[in-house]
Amino acid sequence: MKISKIKVAKFDDAAQVPQVMNENGVEWNTIGCCNWPEEFPYKPKAEFRVAYTDDAFLVHYRASEDSVRAKYGEDDGDVWTDSCMEMFLSPCPEDGSYYNLECNCIGTVLLGYGDGKGYKERASADVTSAIKRWASLGRTTFAERTAESPWEVALIVPFASYWKHAFRPEAGLQIRGNFYKCGDELQKPHFLSWAPITWEKPNFHLPAFFGELTFC
C-alpha cells in the first residue's frame, strides 16, 4: 500500500481530516480478511485511509456494523472490546518492534509498543493526549446499541507518538504494518485485518503478517 504526503498548512483539528483527504484524492482501503471464519464469521464493513504531513499521520476510519459500543472513554482502556479499529506499524522493521494504536468508535485510544521479543510498554498520557481525534458519534461513552450503526473516526497522530524511534518518513521509505477491525465483547465478536493472518486463533500482535507500506 502507498501512503501519500499531503502538503497542507499545519492544523490540529481532526474534524478537518476527512475533507483534506477528499480534496487530495486519498483512496480507501478495505479491512476485509476474515482470518478465523469458523469461530468468528461476522464481517462488518470496515475501511481506512492514511496520509502523512511533515509532522503527523492523518488516519480516517469508517465502519458499519450490526451493533456498536463505546464503553471506554479514557485513554489506555480496553478499547479493543468496543467497536474498534487499529493501526499497527513497524517503523523500523529490522529490529522486530512495532506500535499498536487502537481506537474505539468515539476516539478513545490505546497506544503500545512491543519489542518483538515479548516486552510491551504503554504510552504515557502525555503521548496519547497529543493525538487529535474526531468521531462522528461524538466523544461520550454509551452501552451497546443493537442496530445497524455506521461510524467514522479521524485521527492526527504526531510522529512523536512513536516515542521509541526518531521516526520521520520520507518518499521511498518502506515500513510494515497492518490495520484491523475488532469488537471482542460485541454481540457479534469479530477480528478482521487488512493483510491476512495465518494463525490458529485471533492475534493481531504478529509483525510477521504485516503488509508492506511505501511512502510517496
- What pTM was estimated for this model as a whole? 0.96
pLDDT tens by residue, 68-97? 999 999 999 999 999 999 999 999 878 889
Domain, as residue range, for 166 = 2-202+211-215
pLDDT of residue 92: 85
Q: How confident is the model at residue 62 (pLDDT cuts 50, 70, 90)?
A: very high
Task: Tell me the average pLDDT across 183-191.
Answer: 98
Domain with residue 194: its CATH number is: 2.60.40.1190
Q: How confident is the model at residue 205 (pLDDT cuts 50, 70, 90)?
A: very high
Tell me the three state secondary structure of residue 37. Answer: coil
User: Total domain count for the chain?
Assistant: 1
pLDDT of residue 162: 97
pLDDT tens by residue, 30-59? 999 999 999 999 999 999 999 999 999 999
